[in-house]
Amino acid sequence: MEGSVEDVFRSFTGGSNEMDGRQFAKVMKDCGILDKKFTATDVDLLFAKIKDPSARKINFNQFDQAIGNIAVKKGTSKELIYQSLRESGGPKYIGTKAHDVKLGEDRSPNVGIYLQASPTKEKQRLSDAYINQLKDEDRKYKN
């Protein structure tokens, strides 16, 4: 998908007219703009420099100004940065995939220790054994 830079801006902001620092950093990372000449620290510093002092977000004009500053810092043209942005096609969502969990798939109530004996049955078995032991000891004393 190759659209305008403003389309890319809006895709990273979810259609909003403003972008916060986290979204700005994601644009730089996802579009492959970060390198040794322009690092994640530079992204944060540039965002703080471009935004209005009392604001937390930047608009598209400020974003465009930031692209100019990035081109100067990297020693490249603004058009090459625009090309990287347009070719990115928007945000990349990368997450982790959960592993298969055998116990998570088993929907029966008898899982784990309960496969061998339920706590109630185990208590009953122990109490019966204890009662039988007491009866045996009582018989010994009576005889």
Tokens of 30: 């996802």
At residue 73, the pLDDT reads 92
With the C-alpha atoms ordered 122, 128, 131, 135, is the resulting torsion angle positive or negative?
negative
Q: Where are the domains of the chain?
A: 5-88, 110-142
Beta-carbon contacts of residue 2 (< 8 Å; ≥ 6 apart): 86, 87, 89
At residue 121, the pLDDT reads 63
> In this model, does residue 143 exceed pLDDT 90?
no
Closest CA to 22 of 52, 39, 47: 47
CB contact at 8 A, 66 and 47: yes
What kind of architecture, by CATH, is found in domain 5-88? Orthogonal Bundle (1.10)
At residue 124, the pLDDT reads 65
Closest CA to 81 of 93, 62, 63, 59: 63
Please tell me the least confidently modeled range out of 21-30, 61-70, 118-127.
118-127
CB contact at 8 A, 24 and 58: yes
Q: What is the pTM of this model?
A: 0.62
* Helix locations, 19-77, DSSP H: 21-30, 40-50, 60-74
Regarding predicted confidence, which is higher, 33 or 140? Answer: 33
The mean pLDDT of 7-20, rounded to a whole number, is: 90
Regarding predicted confidence, which is higher, 68 or 126? Answer: 68
The mean pLDDT of 77-93, rounded to a whole number, is: 85
Write out pLDDT tens, residues 25-66: 999 999 899 999 999 999 999 999 999 999 999 999 999 999
